[in-house]
Amino acid sequence: MYRYLIVTLLFLAFALPAFAADEQPITLTVKAEKEIVVMENGTPVTKRVPAEAAEPGTELIYTLNYANTASAPATNLAFKNKVPDLTVYIDGSATGDGASIDFSIDGGATFAPLVDLKITDAGTGKPRPATAADITTIRWNLKTIPAGSKGELGFKVRVK
């Protein structure tokens, strides 16, 4: 069976508010993991491990941890993440406390809630509702990240 090396699957872009040149307002760490079951004292326990490689059908969990290290609140932020190549977004898996979440089916050119997105069916040439499989990019919109606070965003995909 083929194995896919998970190295450059994640693309992340975000827009930041204006800050003084000497401040680095937002720190961001990103990790890709998969769940495995291990035995501990005779009991199966599910653990997350780095997703260095994954076979087709494997579910991967992407977690984006952010922190506002500046002395002032950060406002009107948009974090964008491409759905990695060779994967499909798992419907309903995007999370982010306090964030509104939009999706793109055109590589990040436009965003809207999934229910509002339409795609032209290649076979019929007619528009149809977009599905999770059509999503190319996810965007989290945060109105404010207070100074010194942190949070987590995330989503899941399945390897094709």
Q: Which residues constitute the domain of residue 47?
A: 4-159
- Residues of the chain under the 70 pLDDT cut: 1-24
pTM above 0.75, yes or no: yes
Tell me: the pLDDT tens digits for 66-100?
999 989 998 899 999 999 999 999 999 999 999 99
CATH number of the domain encompassing residue 33: 2.60.40
Are the C-beta atoms of residues 74 and 14 closer than 8 Å to each other?
Answer: no
Count structural domains, the chain: 1
